Every structure is written in structure tokens, then in C-alpha cells.
Structure 1
Amino acid sequence: MHGTILTLLKRYVQSQYDHSTWVKLMELSGLENVEFDHKTVYPDAHVYALVGHAAEMTGIPAGELHEKFGEYLVPDLMYMYQKLVKPEWKTLDMLEHTELTMHKQVRAEHAENAPPVLDVTRIGPNELYIDYVSPRRMGGLAVGIVRGLATYFDEADRIDVLPTTAEDGQRVRIHVRRR
């Protein structure tokens, strides 16, 4: 997992809960001596442990936590990749272009980076399917990012996001429609 995601996870936990919650999660995960750096790639097991223990501590299912975190990530991701985003793009355009813009750059930065593959099929001007493919099984994160993009582009009240398969699979289909 890219260190940027883990440093943002730390900030998310600290902003939604507090610093002591983050410290407790790190201890429970056996990571108390790890300091995440945004330029390093870490084992996926780190994020699984952190989210798993967060689910136990909060009583919120891990998939739901992934979604909430995905929504939280969007402003930072948009800031990081603003030079790749065309000003006329809205939610569906961002989704359609993520794989060949942002993910392409992430993969080029480090060979170890492995963002999910997003195979997007535009069905019409107001509708598309995203086929999320990743051995990480974090489709909930993708669903949250889609919802976060709708909020970012001030379309949250007009965008429907519906996973049509289980969110914890290696392949997750997400139906996105603008009303």
C-alpha cells in the first residue's frame, strides 16, 4: 500500500477520533514502531490490520470504514493530481479518466505501486459502470471515493452509486448514474 494512503489514514483517524485512537490502533496492529512515510510502499497487511482493529474498536464493519475513508481521501487526491484534471470534468468524467491519468502516473512513480485497475464503461452521458479489479479486495474504498468525488464536484445529491457485487471481492462492479 502506498505510504500516502497510510499517512492519510492516520490523519483520518486522528480527525474523526483522536491521536490516542491512532496510537492504540498501531499498537493492536503490531506497528507501534512504524512511522509511515508518503514516499514508501508498505505491505498491504498494515492497512488490513489497522482497519480490522478499527472495525473491532468502533463496531463499524470494515467495508463501511473503507467507504468513509474513501470519501475522506478525495480532496487530498484531487489536490495531488490537480494538474491531470481538466477543468470541465465532473464526477463521471473523473471516473472515466482515472485509470489512464492518475493511476498511470502512480504506477510510473514506483514499480511497487499497484493501484486497482478500473475498467470503466460509459453507457451514456449520465451513466457508467466501473469494474474494480484488485487482489486487495477494497472495493468499499472505491465506492467511497466515487461518493467523495460526487461531493467534491457538488453533485452528491444527483449521483447514485450502487455496488452490484460484494464490495470485498477481487472484482467489484459499481454502477454510477447521474439523475
Structure 2
Amino acid sequence: MHGTIFTLLKRYVQTQYDHSTWIQLLENSGLTATDFDHKHVYPDEHMYRLVGQASAMTGIPAHELQEKLGEYLVPDLMYMYQKLLQPEWTTLDMLEHTEYTMHRQVRSEHTENAPPVLNVTRIGPDELFIDYVSKRRMGALAVGIVRGVAAYYDEADVIKIEPTTSENGEEVRIRVRRLR
């Protein structure tokens, strides 16, 4: 997993809790503070250990923590990829184009990185399905990112997000609808 995600996870923990919580999380996970930098890719196992330990420390289920992190990531991700965004896009447009814009760039810049494959099917002007495919089994993170994208486009109150399969699988289907 790309180091940027770990860097943002660190900031999330520090802002939601504090720096000592981050240090404790690293220690409980058997990792060190020097393990992450935004220019490298790290084993997915590091993220699993951190999320698992964070769940144990907070009592919050791992999938909920992944969703919260996903929402938190969006402003930074949108800033990083702003040159790829079109000003007329809405939440559904952004989601429809993620695979062929942002994920394509990530794969070309970091060949060792493997963001999930997002097969998006637009059902109509107000609905689409996202088929998340990844051996990482972090569909909950994707659900959180979708929520964060809706908030970014100021549509959180009109976008309904429904995972239609388990968020733990290698393949997760997410239904996204704009309510009228």
C-alpha cells in the first residue's frame, strides 16, 4: 500500500486522538515511526496490523475504522489529483472516472502499487454500481472514500451509499444513488 495512505492514517490518528496514541498503535502493531514515508510502498500487512490494533484499542470494529479513514482521506486525495478533476463533475461523475484517471496515474507512477480495480457501471443519471476488486479486502475503505467524495461535492445529504455485498470480500459491490 502506498506510503501516502500510511502518512494520512498517522495524521488521522493524531487529530482524532493524539500523538501518543499513534506511538502506542505503532508499538502494539510491532512497527516503528520511521516505517512510513509518502514516497514508498509498504506491505499491506502493515495496514492490517494497524487497523486491527486500532480496533482492539478503541473497541470500534475494523470495517468502521476503515470507513472513517476513507472519508478522512478524500480532501487530501482530491487535492493531490485536482489536475485530473473536471469542474463540472458531481459525486457520481467523479466515481465513474476514478479508475481511468486517478488509479491509472497511480499505476503509471508507482508500478509496484496496486490500487483496487473499480469497475463502475452507470445505471442512469442518478445511479451507479461500483464493483471494487482487490485482494486487500478493504471494501470498507472504499465505502468511506465514496462517502468522503459525496461530502467533498457537498452532496452527502443526497447521496445514498449501499454496500450490497460484504465489505470484507475481494469483490465488493457498492450501489450509489442520488436521491431526488
Q: Which residue of 2 aligns with 1:107?
A: 107
2:83 matched residue in structure 1: 83
Q: CA deviation at 1:33?
A: 5.3
* Contact 2:25/2:53, CA 8 A, preserved across alignment: yes
Give the match for residue 23 of structure 1. Answer: 23
Q: How many residues align?
A: 179
CA distance in 2, matches of 1:47, 1:23: 15
In 1, the alpha carbon distance for the partners of 2:46 and 2:34 equals: 10
Deviation at 1:89, TM superposition (A): 0.4
Per-residue CA distance 1:77-119 (angstroms, 9 max, x = gap): 0000000000000100000000000000000011111000000
In 1: Cα distance, 2:33 partner to 2:25 partner: 12
Name structure 2 gaps, 5 residues minimum: none
Alpha-carbon displacement from aligned partner over 1:140-164 (angstroms, at most 9, x marks no partner): 0000000001011000000000000
RMSD, matched Cα: 0.7
Q: Gapped runs of 5+ residues in structure 1?
A: none
Q: Verify: 1:174 aligned to 2:174, yes or no.
A: yes
Q: 1:1-179 maps to which residues of 2 (within 5 A)?
A: 1-32=1-32, 34-179=34-179
Provide Cα deviations, 1:17-56, integer angstroms capped at 9, x if missing partner: 0000000010011112533110100000101000000000
Between the aligned residues of both structures, percent identity stands at: 75
Alpha-carbon distance in structure 2 between the residues aligned to 1:108 and 1:56: 36
The residue identity in structure 1 corresponding to 2:166 is A
Letter in 2 for 1:143: V
Matched residue SS, 2:34: coil
TM-score between the two structures when normalised by the length of structure 1: 0.99
CA distance in 2, matches of 1:149, 1:79: 12
Deviation string for 1:117-154 (max 9, x for gaps)?
Answer: 00000000000000000000000000000000101100
SS at match of 1:47: helix
**TM-score (normalizing by structure 2):** 0.98
Runs of 4+ in 1 over 3 A off after TM superposition: none
